Structure 1
Amino acid sequence: MFSYTFQWKQAFARLPVMLEGAVVTIEIALLSMLIGIALAVLLTGFRLSGNRVLSGIAATWVEIARNTPALFQIYMAHFGLGSFGLHLSPYTSLLLGITFNNAGYLAENFRGALKAIPDTQTRAARSLGMTPVRAFGHVVLPQMLRIAFLPMTNQMVWAILMTSLGITVGMNTDLYGVTQDLNALTFRTFELFALAAVIFYLITKTVQIGARLVAARLFRY
């Protein structure tokens, strides 16, 4: 017979602490995206450079990021590098693992976006007297961002959710880690994790709605 007694007051009393953890979650996800985008642009350049070595490095990165679990990538950052004497904090290991994953997925998104833009766009810009840099910045880049924007939004949502894996390397300052610690103190498992799930949901929905508004503003034409 069901005899569980809900005690929501205990969970809501811990809400300020959980929101502090949510800030850390957003911080890690945002940093991993910013660094991941920069690395993805670099990897995309490697893939399209025609240099076998650079192309091979980029292809290997993308293959590992896209075809191994994110948990494995975080473990390698924390325990793998630790085996070689490079001991990282749980925060840094989580950030490094998610960034590695983001860069791999985004690099493939960027490469696909660039492939979707006809070469005639660049040739037309060059025929108007633009330098290669200006042609890329004013003609190719806006179209690439338009194509890759929604996949970037999806990756941001995925990065937010991936932060919950930090608990496996001892991360306890993000939303999931804080919730786990509070659960160990209060044993209000259902209430605390239900509340954490709602916070995760609100964060990701805010990102998605915000992205749609930005896209409607920037990509109207």
Structure 2
Amino acid sequence: MFEYTFQWKQALARLPQMLEGAVVTMEVALLSMGIGILLAVLLTLLRLSGARPLQAIATTWVEIARNTPALFQIYMAHFGIASFGLHLSPFVSLLIGITFNNAGYLAENFRGALKAIPETQTRAARSLGMTPLQAFRHVVLPQMLRISFLPMTNQMVWAVLMTSLGVTVGMNIDLYGVTQDLNALTFRTFELFALAAVIFYLITKVITLAARLCAQRLFRY
């Protein structure tokens, strides 16, 4: 017989604490995306450089990020680095792991975007007297980011969801970690995690909607 008694009031009473955790979740996701984009641009430049050692470094990063579990990358940031005597907080370990993952995926997206940009764009910029770096910065980079905008939105959503892995390294101040602690105190598993799922869903839908609105305004032509 189904004898579970729902107690939604008890779960909703914990909503402010969960929303505070959601703010931390967004902080981790936004930081990991911002740093990840910068690293991805750098990795893309390294892969395009003529120096084989630099290409090897960038390719290795991308291959590890795309072909190993995100949980493994977070574990390496927390437990792996600790083996060398450097102990990081769960927040920093989670941020490093997600950033590493984001940079790898975004670098591959940027590489694909670059292939969609005609080489004549660079030649035209160079014919105007721009240096290779200026041509990349003022002509190629804006187009690359434009083509990659929607994939970056998907990666942002993925970054938000990946923050839930932080609980495996002791992260208890984000949405999932707070929910886990509240569940241990109240034993209202279904109500609390259902509420957390709704919050995650709303966050991702807001991100998707905001990205679509930005795309409509930024990319009208």
TM-score of the superposed pair, with normalisation by structure 2: 0.97
Alignment of 1:39-118 (within 5 A): 39-118=39-118
Q: Shift of residue 124 of structure 1?
A: 1.8
Q: Shift of residue 212 of structure 1?
A: 0.5
Q: Shift of residue 138 of structure 1?
A: 3.1
Q: Which amino acid aligns with 2:45?
A: G
RMSD over aligned CA atoms reads 1.0
1:172 aligns with 2:172: yes
Alignment of 1:92-171 (within 5 A): 92-171=92-171
2:203 is aligned to 203
TM-score of the superposed pair, with normalisation by structure 1: 0.97
1:220 is aligned to 220
Q: Which amino acid aligns with 1:82?
A: A
Structure 1: distance between partners of 2:95 and 2:134: 33
Structure 1: distance between partners of 2:188 and 2:64: 38
Q: Shift of residue 132 of structure 1?
A: 3.2
1:174-215 deviation digits (Å, cap 9, x = unpaired): 000000000000000000000000000000010000001111
1:35-93 deviation digits (Å, cap 9, x = unpaired): 11111111111100011100000000000000000000000000111111111111110
1:18 is aligned to 18
Q: Shift of residue 22 of structure 1?
A: 0.1
Q: Shift of residue 126 of structure 1?
A: 2.3
Structure 1: distance between partners of 2:48 and 2:70: 26
Structure 2: distance between partners of 1:38 and 1:68: 21
Structure 1: distance between partners of 2:218 and 2:131: 24
Runs of at least 4 residues off by over 3 Å: 128-134
Q: Which amino acid aligns with 1:68?
A: T
Q: Residue 6 of structure 1 aligns to a residue in which SS? A: coil
Sequence identity percentage: 85
Q: Shift of residue 28 of structure 1?
A: 0.3
Structure 1: distance between partners of 2:153 and 2:63: 21
Structure 2: distance between partners of 1:165 and 1:135: 40
Stretches of structure 2 lacking an aligned partner (at least 5 in a row): none
- Report which stretch shifted further, 70-79 or 126-135: 126-135
Q: Shift of residue 112 of structure 1?
A: 1.1
Structure 2: distance between partners of 1:19 and 1:2: 31
